[in-house]
């Protein structure tokens, strides 16, 4: 029998190294929490593999000898498109039954185990549920150091040029209308633009909101339109740019618009995802946008999903800063900047509904 020790800063990372190094037939013998030479917390996992599996795992053993203290050696680390899809698929599948159970058994407190089960039941990948369960069990804001939180915009202090991109039906135009109305009511000078010119009526709804608000509105059909539009909107403190929807199977729309986007001095490139989207489809989208230089991610239709945990998986997979969340059609209400407190409140509300408390 072959016995190895795998070490990583987080337990799920060490378990991932076990699977990578010894394969799915490995048996976890022990899990120990300790500190490294710099005083940082680490996990040591002892795992074994029967002799009959050693030959087939020889090449993988070499990979497991690489330093494991750095996230770039984690099997879930995103590098290029091909490795991204492998990582994203692994998140959707979770860590596998063996690893998930080992994560659960590493929790000695029953309430933390129950919180872990609840998070997994709401769609959070087991690896992330393990890191979030302790805080969730005592109703503390979750993911303060784990999730990639974006910095709240302050157009009153510094001009913001925000591009909203994403799949068709994600609610980009509605989010733009909510943001425009919200900040206009607070005295911020707002202008609106759109590249959604090929879809019949694609720009009409947003233009109607602009007319009501008295905000300047510009249509960008080609790169040559950008300079004049930016000159007209030069006094805007908040410039919102809506765009045509696309998907990973119809990427021509995004490619055509990218040429226009490159001419815009965007401070924020927000990828808008509807929370009611299938998780695997969402992961495919995230893999497809790597070349689009998005900086933030926003989630709409949060009231239309019974599995809000997938937005944690999506945000971790994308590594984009969390920005806005929307959960209804009302303008400008039912929208807000996503924080650890807001994320916790969202999951708490879904937990109560699952348990029949509301």
Could you tell me the pTM of the whole model?
0.75
**Cβ–Cβ under 8 Å, residues 263 and 226:** yes
User: Of 256, 210, 201, nearest to 232 (Cα)?
Assistant: 210
CATH numbers and ranges of domains, the chain: 2-77 (3.30.1660), 160-338 (3.40.50.300)
CA distances from 351 to 17, 117, 119, 309 (A): 32, 11, 9, 11
pLDDT tens string for the chain (358 positions)? 566 888 888 877 787 788 778 876 677 766 777 777 777 888 888 777 765 544 444 444 444 444 444 444 444 434 445 555 555 555 555 555 666 788 888 888 999 999 999 999 999 988 899 999 999 999 999 999 899 999 999 999 999 999 999 998 899 999 999 999 999 999 999 999 999 887 766 678 899 999 999 999 999 999 999 999 999 999 999 999 999 888 666 655 566 788 899 999 999 999 999 999 999 899 988 988 887 899 999 999 999 998 999 999 999 999 999 999 998 888 877 889 999 999 999 999 877 654 443 3
């Amino acid at each position: 029998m072959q016995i190895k020790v795998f070490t990583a800063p987080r337990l799920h990372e060490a378990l991932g190294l076990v699977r990578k190094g010894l394969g799915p037939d490995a048996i976890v013998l022990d899990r120990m929490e300790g500190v490294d030479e710099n005083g940082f917390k680490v996990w040591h996992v002892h795992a074994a593999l029967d002799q009959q599996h050693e030959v087939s795992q020889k090449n993988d053993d070499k990979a497991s000898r690489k330093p494991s203290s750095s996230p770039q050696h984690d099997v879930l680390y995103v590098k290029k498109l091909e490795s991204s899809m492998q990582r994203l698929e692994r998140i959707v599948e979770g860590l596998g039954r063996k690893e998930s159970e080992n994560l659960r058994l590493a929790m000695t407190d029953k309430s933390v185990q129950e919180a872990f089960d609840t998070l997994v039941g709401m769609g959070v990948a087991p690896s992330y549920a393990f890191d979030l369960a302790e805080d969730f069990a005592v109703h503390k804001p979750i993911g303060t150091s784990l999730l990639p939180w974006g910095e709240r915009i302050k157009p009153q202090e510094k001009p913001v040029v925000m591009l909203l991109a994403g799949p068709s039906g994600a609610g980009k135009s509605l989010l733009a209308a909510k943001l425009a109305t919200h900040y206009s009511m607070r005295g911020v000078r707002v202008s609106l633009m759109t590249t959604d010119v090929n879809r019949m009526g694609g720009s009409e709804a947003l233009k109607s909101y602009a007319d009501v608000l008295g905000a300047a509105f510009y249509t960008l059909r080609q790169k040559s339109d950008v300079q004049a539009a930016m000159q007209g909107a030069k006094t805007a403190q908040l410039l919102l740019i809506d765009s045509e929807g696309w998907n990973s199977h119809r990427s021509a729309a995004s490619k055509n618009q990218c040429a226009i986007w490159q001419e815009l001095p965007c401070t924020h490139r927000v990828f808008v995802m509807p929370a009611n989207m299938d998780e695997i489809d969402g992961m495919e989208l995230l893999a497809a946008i790597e070349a689009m230089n998005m900086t933030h991610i926003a989630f709409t239709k949060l009231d239309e999903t019974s599995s809000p945990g997938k937005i944690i998986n999506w945000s971790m997979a994308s590594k984009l800063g969390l920005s806005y969340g929307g959960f209804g059609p009302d303008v400008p209400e039912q929208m807000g900047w996503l924080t650890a407190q807001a994320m916790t409140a969202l999951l708490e509300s879904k937990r109560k509904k699952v348990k029949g408390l509301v």
